Amino acid sequence: MRIGFIGLGAMGFPMARHLAREHEVVVWNRTAEKAERHAREHGSKLASELAATADTDVLITMLPTSREVDEIVDQLLPHVKPGTLWIDATSGDPNVSKLTAARLAEKGVAFVDAPVTGATVGAENATLTIMVGGSAADFERARDVLRLCGKTIIHAGETGAGHAIKVLTNSIMGATVWMTAECLLVAKRYGIDLKTALAITNAGSGRSNASENLLPMRLLEHKWPLVFKLAHHDKDIRIASSLAHAQHASTPMLALTQQLFTASLNELGEGADYIEVAKVIAAMNGTSWD
Ligand code: NDP
């Protein structure tokens, strides 16, 4: 199979590497050096220009938001071939995805939204969970490709359903990270050793991915790697809030989480990692985790 892959960022780069083990993968990236390195090191083919990615059976986009995907669709629309499957692995906006699917359908191109979860480590190890929105037939076609990047691939529903559940599940994670960090800060202030507080949390009902994996390294070892941009997490929670709004759902926790993450992004800036919201919680309390 010939696959065009657009967007070799933290997630896209390793995903395209796995695909290149079995398929002919044509890579394009805005910053060309990354695509050149991919071709050099991982046996993919460097697209001479963006349009060259369209001469393929499958196109994959892995970009920050639906806005960038839309820009790429605009540019590729004159070049796409009928019968192509477009897989958008971006954590995007389901409403935009439906419009994109309709635009591509006019050209005979099928579209699925297929965002991923599992972080950069999941992309590196091909253990991602991938949630797909689209028809059953297109899901089967997409699964045949995506199985090289992920371990669990689930059909979420019709077009947009993958993007919808992705932003909702990330909102759950955001609220959990925030609440866990808040309660750990109170424990510390009360005089309980942070390591002990985490050990008890992880042996009890407050246990989560945040308490087991995400927070200990940051709070105990003071290592704050950039693995998932806060800007991307904020974008996901804002999309989730807009879904709730559109459905007239009463979701005060979601609204509060969105406000806290947007405030944190404004405070920390575009370069921050999402777990750095814990620093904002500390600052709100006139302290730090050091
Ligand atoms: P990165 O910021 O690392 O990569 C973004 C990619 O998009 C880069 O290849 C970048 O190109 C490209 N890009 C940005 N703007 C444009 C543009 N205007 N036109 C064309 N290309 C553009 O992001 P991630 O890989 O971390 O995230 C990608 C998606 O995956 C996001 O939707 C994110 O929410 C989601 N996600 C991320 C996870 C993570 O842990 N990082 C986990 C799960 C999902 P360039 O190299 O030139 O900057």
Catalytic residue of the set 45, 81, 107, 166: 166
Average pLDDT of the residues in 180-195: 98
What does the pLDDT read at residue 257?
A: 98
Q: To the nearest whole number, what is the mean pLDDT of the chain?
A: 97
Average pLDDT of the residues in 100-115: 98
How many CB atoms are closer than 10 A to CB 154? Answer: 14
232 lines ligand 1 (CB under 6 A): yes
What does the pLDDT read at residue 142?
A: 98
Task: Summarize pLDDT for 256-282 with one digit per residue, the tens.
Answer: 999 999 999 999 999 999 999 999 999
Distances (CA, A) of 186 to 22, 116, 209: 51, 33, 20
Question: Is there a contact between 249 and 141 (Cβ–Cβ < 8 Å)?
Answer: no
Residue 154 sits at φ, ψ, to 5 deg, of -120, 135
Q: On the CB side of 57, how many CA atoms lie within 13 Å of its CA?
A: 10
What does the pLDDT read at residue 216?
A: 98
4 lines ligand 1 (CB under 6 A): no
Query: What DSSP string runs through 186-200?
Result: HHHHHT--HHHHHHH
Mutate which of 63, 67, 116, 163 to test ligand 1's pocket (most atoms within 8 Å of Cβ)? 63
- Tell me the pTM: 0.95
151 in active site: no
Q: How far apart are the CA of 7 and the centre of ligand 1, in A?
A: 6
Mutate which of 17, 37, 44, 62 to test ligand 1's pocket (most atoms within 8 Å of Cβ)? 62
Average pLDDT of the residues in 143-171: 98
Distance CA 166, CA 65 (A): 13
Q: On the CB side of 215, how many CA atoms lie within 13 Å of its CA?
A: 30
